[in-house]
Amino acid sequence: MSKTEGKILVVDDDIDVLTTAKMFLKQYFSVVQVDQNPENIPKHLTQDNFDLILLDMNFSKGDNDGTEGLFWLNKILEINPATVVILITAYGEVDLAVKAIKNGAVDFVLKPWKNEKLLATINSSLKLSRSKKEVEQLKNTQKKLAEDGNRPYQEFVGNSPAIQQVFDLIDKVASTDANVLILGENGTGKELVARALHRKSLRKNNVFISVDLGAISETLFESELFGHVKGAFTDAKENRPGSFELASGGSIFLDEIGNLSLPLQAKLLTVIQNREVKRVGANRKTNVDIRLICATNLPLYQMVETDEFRQDLLYRINTVEIRLPSLRERKEDVPLLIQHFLEIYSKKYKKNNLRIDQGTISKLKKYQWPGNVRELQHAVERAVILSTGNQINAADFPLGPILPSKQTAQEVMTLEDMEQKFIRDALERNMGNVSKTAKELGLTRTALYRRLNKHGL
């Protein structure tokens, strides 16, 4: 006979009741724990996640007013409001049981109970327990979705060969559950790729959770990603699932993964390998079914060589790599993007019939757009806001210097050149002081020395 998945805790001062209950219930349920001392209830609830608690109404000899039972009922629900509690009562305590149900208990059983009645009561209550958890999970997921939905999101726009290659790769990979690593400069649209992968996947009807790892402090990393139980730390006032649990069944997007410290990389690797998380303060682990998508603008392969990024983690997250081209590499898409954002912000700011002359568009195509599509988007929005007539011209785009049209892609500084110049300038500002330079750049002295050797500085 297969057992029902369910964790049950029985609390009663009568050892005979506990022995009988455990022997009977172990035949039907996967986990049954018993305890004579109600003082241990808080410890049980913080160490494990019980689906149901059978609780006696009286524990001290001579007391039969049910005060203790009501006290511990309230304590259980205070620790975890989703806990399902069934009261164990004597024949003359039915009125007390009714009062307890008004206080949050689900049902009661009379001592001595009939096994069939006890089993039916527990099974119906377990269904209620699962429903409560599903509702709580749904609430948390919808809350996360609402927060995520408030972020500005626009579709991809572009006809250039460079962006078409990205579209083709998305179409090939989306229907699989392969881990995807998206590489590209800031502002190129890495989250758009992640959302497109989810939207075209078999998980499209489930949740998409986006997490900016660069915005999470080390102290909150585990709580944000893996969740916590009530009381795990000072501000943990309730049980809270992390992003991995919320994303279970759907996709999770970990942006700025290159910013994680080595200790946090190790914790993340364990979760990705085992597909299970343990909330902060909990003893049990929870399985998660997620499609993993990561992104970074940092050179992860170089960081592996300098021991700043774990090689085993890189291999885990990059089953498929998608490299996003910079806007400099797809200049032919600039007019399309300008028109796209012009339509959006003309409607938003109620400025209809706005136009951008071809001369301005030609000049904007020559600009290098270091901030990529995001910079272009903000530039168009600002131009729309500041426009006074129906025509937007070059003066409405206060950008940096526009490079001559004869400049070729080879003449544009590479990332290596930019890093070398960035470090050299920082050294000059700090009068050659390596410690001060490393602090300014957010690097360790060792990491900075590696870069100095690499660039011959």
Using the predicted structure, report yes or no on whether residue 409 has a pLDDT greater than 50: no
Q: Which amino acid is at 399?
A: L
166 and 315 co-located in one domain: yes
Stronger pLDDT, 201 or 111, i.e. the higher one? 201
166-183: average pLDDT: 94
397 and 423 co-located in one domain: no
* pLDDT for residue 155: 62
pLDDT band at 151 (very low <50, low <70, confident <90, very high): very low
284 and 156 co-located in one domain: yes
307 and 353 co-located in one domain: no
> How many C-beta atoms lie closer than 10 Å to residue 442's C-beta?
9
Q: Helix/strand/coil (H, E, C) string of 312-373? A: HHHHHHCCEEEECCCHHHHHHHHHHHHHHHHHHHHHHCCCCCCEECHHHHHHHHHCCCCCHH
* pLDDT for residue 124: 86
pLDDT band at 33 (very low <50, low <70, confident <90, very high): very high
203 and 310 co-located in one domain: yes
Q: What are phi and psi of 104, to 5 degrees?
A: 130, -5
pLDDT band at 268 (very low <50, low <70, confident <90, very high): very high
63-83: average pLDDT: 82
What percentage of residues in the chain have a pLDDT greater than 90?
Answer: 44
* pLDDT for residue 190: 94
Write the CB contacts of 344 (distance below 8 Å, at least 6 apart in sequence).
154
- Domain end, chosen from 107, 133, 159, is at 133
pLDDT band at 10 (very low <50, low <70, confident <90, very high): very high
* pLDDT for residue 288: 93
Residue 143 included in any domain: no
* pLDDT for residue 300: 93
Please name every residue paired with 84 in a beta bridge, in sequence order, or none if there are none.
52
The CATH number of the domain holding residue 338 is: 1.10.8.60
The Cα-based distances of 334 to 136, 188, 356, 363 in angstroms read 45, 13, 13, 11
pLDDT band at 89 (very low <50, low <70, confident <90, very high): confident
pTM check: above 0.85: no
Using the predicted structure, report yes or no on whether residue 378 has a pLDDT greater than 60: yes
pLDDT band at 154 (very low <50, low <70, confident <90, very high): very low
Of the CA atoms within 13 Å of residue 164, those in its CB half-sphere come to 5
401 and 433 co-located in one domain: no
243 and 163 co-located in one domain: yes
Using the predicted structure, report yes or no on whether residue 30 has a pLDDT greater than 60: yes
- Domain end, chosen from 323, 347, 382, is at 323
Q: Which of 74-78, 152-156, 160-164 has the highest mean pLDDT?
A: 160-164
Q: Which amino acid is at 404?
A: P
pLDDT band at 153 (very low <50, low <70, confident <90, very high): very low
Number of domains in the chain: 4
* pLDDT for residue 137: 67
Please name which of 237, 216, 217, 239 lies closest in space to residue 228, comparing C-alpha atoms. 239
Residue 294 included in any domain: yes
Query: Do strands 52-56 and 84-89 pair parallel, antiparallel, or not at all (unpaired)?
Result: parallel
Please name which of 398, 376, 396 lies closest in space to residue 387, comparing C-alpha atoms. 396
- Rounded to the nearest 10 degrees, the angle between the axes of helix 415-429 and helix 445-455 is 120
218 and 182 co-located in one domain: yes
Q: What are phi and psi of 282, to 5 degrees?
A: -100, 160
314 and 212 co-located in one domain: yes
* pLDDT for residue 142: 60
378 and 310 co-located in one domain: no
* pLDDT for residue 168: 93
162 and 290 co-located in one domain: yes
Please name every residue paired with 56 in a beta bridge, in sequence order, or none if there are none.
88
The CATH number of the domain holding residue 433 is: 1.10.10.60
354 and 447 co-located in one domain: no
39-46: average pLDDT: 88
- Domain end, chosen from 371, 390, 408, is at 408
Structure tokens at 385: 């806001």
What percentage of residues in the chain have a pLDDT greater than 70?
Answer: 88
Using the predicted structure, report yes or no on whether residue 418 has a pLDDT greater than 80: no
* pLDDT for residue 231: 83
Domain extent, residue 424, equals: 413-455
Residue 139 included in any domain: no
Chain-wide mean pLDDT for the chain?
84
* pLDDT for residue 407: 40
| Strands annotated E in 123-277 | 180-183, 208-212, 227-228, 240-241, 251-255, 276-277
The CATH number of the domain holding residue 94 is: 3.40.50.2300
Write the CB contacts of 320 (distance below 8 Å, at least 6 apart in sequence).
169, 173, 178, 179, 180, 181
The CATH number of the domain holding residue 213 is: 3.40.50.300
* pLDDT for residue 98: 78
Residue 145 included in any domain: no
Residue 445 included in any domain: yes
